[in-house]
Structure 1
Amino acid sequence: MAKKSREILWEVGCEGHTDAWVVAENWELATVEAAAFWDVPWAKVAARCVCKQRIPGAPRNVCCRCGRVYYGPAPMCGACRETVRTEEYLLQQARRRGYRTGKLA
Structure 2
Amino acid sequence: MAEKKQRILWEVGCEGHTDAWVVAENWELATVEAAAFWGVPWGKVAARCECKQRIPGAPRNICCRCGKIYYGSSHMCDVCQKTAETEEYLLQRARRRGYRTGKLV
Q: Fold-level match, TM-score > 0.5?
A: yes
Q: Aligned equivalents of 2:47 and 2:73: distance in 1?
A: 27
Match of 2:20 in 1: 20
1:65 maps to 2:69:
no
Q: Secondary structure at the match of 1:67?
A: coil
Distance 2:73 2:84 in 1: 15
Q: Distance in 2 between matches of 1:22 and 1:52?
A: 12
Q: Give ranges in structure 1 of 5+ residues lacking alignment.
A: none
TM-superposed CA distance for 1:3, in Å, is 1.3
Under a length normalisation based on structure 2, what TM-score does the superposition of the two structures give? 0.98
- In 1, distance between residues paired with 2:89 and 2:73? 21
Which residue number corresponds to residue 41 of structure 1?
Answer: 41
Distance apart, 1:58 and its partner CA: 1.1
Structure 2 partner of 1:75: 75
Shift in Å, 1:52: 0.0
**TM-score, normalised with respect to structure 1:** 0.98
1: CA distance, partners of 2:78 / 2:38: 16
Unaligned runs of 5+ in 2: none
For residue 31 of structure 1, what is the amino acid of its counterpart?
T
> Structure 2 CA distance, aligned partners of 1:89 and 1:100?
16
1:4 deviation in Å? 1.2
- Deviation, structure 1 residue 43: 0.6
Tell me the matched-pair count: 105
Partners of 1:93 and 1:21 lie apart in 2 by 21
Secondary structure, counterpart of 2:9 in structure 1: strand
CA distance in 1, matches of 2:75, 2:32: 15
Which ranges of 4 or more aligned residues in structure 1 deviate by more than 2 Å? none
